[in-house]
């Protein structure tokens, strides 16, 4: 994940916390420094709807180690130059004690968003393109797309996503990485304890033309739910 991709993923975390229509969360904003009198680049800025001045600015750092005092100092200098706007610094690997203390002393918040979290967050816009995801499930939806990408069927065995979000997640997965997604759907169709999940997984596989005869015949020998059995019989015709 590149620094830009990480910033875009973190953007989604702040869109969850500051949702529309009350707030607008923007990436790569330019603000004029009070001391330097030059336009300074800000990674993320959050505006109240209709306001031209941000309510919060965010500096995002993708590093392999915790942010140390000198790196924190650069963000502190930027925030002081902008002046008068609350700020947060975000890091992949956390902050050294000295860095955290200095940021806190200057009234700047600090937040860790790990690369693992970011890998899920990056998919949220694609899910929302398919369906107006409930705010409560935005980030979980992204995590589930990432689980599809890596073939983590266990993540779906006790998943709390509502039906519409679940379908949107699967649609994104099948469009971006069909082999991994269809493999996982076959696993759910075979092993999931919930009849509805097995049915939905089979329906998606059928719609994609991915229900092979041998697979269907094998499921017919073990399936007990009448609706699932009817779907399997129809698919076999």
30, 138 contact by CB (below 8 A): no
Over residues 205-225, mean pLDDT: 94
Which string of DSSP letters, residue by residue, matches 66-108?
-B-HHHHHHHHHHHHHH-SS-EEEEESS-B-HHHHHHHHHTT-
Residue 48 pLDDT more than 90?
Answer: yes
Provide the edge-to-edge strand list for the sheet that holds 87-91: 23-32, 39-48, 56-61, 87-91, 109-112
Q: What sign does the CA torsion over 207, 212, 213, 219 have?
A: negative
165, 143 contact by CB (below 8 A): no
Q: So what's the architecture of 3-117 in CATH? A: 3-Layer(aba) Sandwich (3.40)
Q: Token pair for residue 167?
A: 């379908």
Q: If you count them, how many residues does the chain have?
A: 237
125, 118 contact by CB (below 8 A): no
Using pLDDT thresholds of 50, 70 and 90, give the confidence band for residue 236. Answer: confident
Q: Average pLDDT of the chain?
A: 96
Say which residues have a Cβ less than 8 Å from residue 146's Cβ, sequence separation at least 6.
119, 120, 123
pTM: 0.92
**Termini Cα distance of the chain:** 45
More confident position, 23 or 236 = 23
236/147 Cα distance (integer angstroms): 29
Q: pLDDT tens across 85-117, in order?
A: 999 999 999 999 999 999 999 999 999 999 999
Q: What is the pLDDT of residue 158?
A: 87
Say which residues have a Cβ less than 8 Å from residue 97's Cβ, sequence separation at least 6.
none
Q: pLDDT tens across 128-174, in order?
A: 999 999 999 999 999 999 999 999 999 999 888 999 999 999 999 99
Q: What is the pLDDT of residue 219?
A: 95
Over residues 198-208, mean pLDDT: 96
Using pLDDT thresholds of 50, 70 and 90, give the confidence band for residue 83. Answer: very high
């Amino acid at each position: 994940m590149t620094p830009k991709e990480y910033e875009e993923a973190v953007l989604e975390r702040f869109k969850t916390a500051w949702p529309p229509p009350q707030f607008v969360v923007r990436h790569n904003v330019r603000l004029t420094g009070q001391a330097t009198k030059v336009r300074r680049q800000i990674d993320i800025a959050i505006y109240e709807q209709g306001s031209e001045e941000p309510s919060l600015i965010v500096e995002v750092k993708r590093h392999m180690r915790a942010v140390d005092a000198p790196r924190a100092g650069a963000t502190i200098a930027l925030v002081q130059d902008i002046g008068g706007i609350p700020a947060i610094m975000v890091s992949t690997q956390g902050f050294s004690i000295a860095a955290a203390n200095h940021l806190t002393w200057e009234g700047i918040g600090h937040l860790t968003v790990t690369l693992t979290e970011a890998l899920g967050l990056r998919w949220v816009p694609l899910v929302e393109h398919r369906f107006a995801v409930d705010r409560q499930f935005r980030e979980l939806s992204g995590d589930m797309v990432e689980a599809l990408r890596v073939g983590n069927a266990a993540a779906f065995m006790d998943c709390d996503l509502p039906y519409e979000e679940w379908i949107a997640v699967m649609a994104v997965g099948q469009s971006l990485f069909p082999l991994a997604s269809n493999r996982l759907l076959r696993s759910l169709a075979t092993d999931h304890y919930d009849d509805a999940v097995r049915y939905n997984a089979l329906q998606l596989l059928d719609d994609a033309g991915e229900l092979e005869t041998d697979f269907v015949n094998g499921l017919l020998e073990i399936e007990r739910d009448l609706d699932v059995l009817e779907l399997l019989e129809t698919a076999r015709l």
